[in-house]
Amino acid sequence: MLHRTRPVVVPTIIAAAAALLFAGCGTDSDDSPGDDKGSTSRTSPATLSVCTSVPFEPAEYEEDGTLVGYDIDVMNAIGEQLKRDVTFQTVDFDTILDALDKGTCDAAISSMAITPEREAKATFVPYLSGTKEDPSKPEGPDREVPDPDAPPLGIAVRSDDDALRVDIEQAVAAMYEDGKMRALLEQWDATSFLLDPAPAAGASESEAA
């Protein structure tokens, strides 16, 4: 449940996540009727129920009706460590932590950036590493939009990029005033768009929200 970037997954991280889940969602005891928060919807001790949100390639998405992606691989590896079968439940991204809190699932994974607000609701195990970069063509001047006459290009940034949002706030003001943007691209497509300004698959000119 970390930054939306390329994965760096190592066995020690898998083991740490497995240990956390083993401690947090072990076999429920019948003789502790006091606090039953989250106990009614979770699956059996032999199964690890995981909430995720699709699609978000390459982390989690459907391929021929089957959930795939590196987040899915990570949770399946954790299941192997715990000797549990892993079942996935797809929920809306904005409701993942609520679903976890209500006991809809034992764990959640969906390329979720760690923020103080989210850490107040759940325990995170970092498993991704990434940096922020500003790509440009080698022969071109820095920070030049491929077509200066085109409407501004909107790029989706991560939820922990508050500093970046502040830095670019004035730069994108014209986009909101004009009410148009060239395209809204996830970070996976941003660099390829820079190299080839032709409309990316699924991208279109749209009203700015």
The DSSP secondary structure of 149-192, one letter per residue, reads: TSPPPEE---TT-HHHHHHHTTTTHHHHHHTEES-EE-HHHHHH
**pLDDT reading at 88 higher than 90:** yes
**pLDDT reading at 91 higher than 90:** yes
Among 70, 81, 91, 71, smallest CA distance to 20 is for 81
78/86 Cα distance (integer angstroms): 9
- Domain ranges, ordered by start, for the chain: 11-26+35-119, 154-207
**Dmax of the chain from CA atoms?**
70
Among 121, 128, 100, smallest CA distance to 38 is for 100
50/86 Cα distance (integer angstroms): 7
Region of 22 (left: φ > 0; alpha: ψ -120 to 50; beta: rest) is: alpha
Model confidence at 57, pLDDT cuts 50, 70, 90, reads: confident
206/209 Cα distance (integer angstroms): 9
**pLDDT reading at 196 higher than 50:** yes
5/198 Cα distance (integer angstroms): 24
**pLDDT reading at 130 higher than 50:** yes
Whether residue 115 contacts residue 77, with contact meaning beta carbons closer than 8 Å, is answered with: no
pTM of model > 0.85: no
Render pLDDT for 183-193 as a digit per residue (tens, 0 to 9).
Answer: 444 444 555 55
**pLDDT reading at 1 higher than 70:** no
**pLDDT reading at 73 higher than 60:** yes
The reported pLDDT for the residue numbered 166 is: 56
The reported pLDDT for the residue numbered 112 is: 85
Please give the average per-residue pLDDT across 66-83, as a whole number.
Answer: 90
Please give the average per-residue pLDDT across 97-121, as a whole number.
Answer: 88
- The continuous run of DSSP H or E covering 66 comes out as strand 66-68
In this structure, the strands spanning 66-68 and 61-63 are antiparallel
**pLDDT reading at 52 higher than 90:** yes
- CATH top-level class of 11-26+35-119: alpha beta
17 or 145: whose pLDDT is higher? 17
